[in-house]
Amino acid sequence: MSVENDLPNEELQHEEVMNEEQTIQEQTANSENQEEQLVDEYKDKFVRLYAEFDNYRRRTNEEKLNLISTASKDVIVAMLPVLDNFERAIATNESLDDMDAMKEGFQLIYNMFKGILEAKGLKPMEAKGHEFDSDLHEAIANIPAPEKALKGKVIEDVEKGYYLNDKVLRFAKVVVGQ
- Along the chain (178 residues), what's the average pLDDT of each consecutive run of 10 residues? 57 80 83 88 94 96 87 85 90 83 90 92 92 92 88 91 92 93
In contact, 172 and 157? CB cutoff 8 Å: yes
**Confidence (pLDDT) at 39:** 92
In contact, 132 and 153? CB cutoff 8 Å: yes
**Confidence (pLDDT) at 137:** 93
**Confidence (pLDDT) at 68:** 81
Distance between start and end Cα atoms, the chain: 127
**Confidence (pLDDT) at 96:** 79
**Confidence (pLDDT) at 21:** 83
**Confidence (pLDDT) at 61:** 95
**Confidence (pLDDT) at 63:** 93
**Burial class for 174, CB neighbours closer than 10 Å (0-12, 13-18, 19+):** buried
pTM over cut 0.85? no
**Confidence (pLDDT) at 40:** 92
**Which residue(s) pair with 170 in the sheet?**
162
**Confidence (pLDDT) at 6:** 55
**Confidence (pLDDT) at 1:** 47
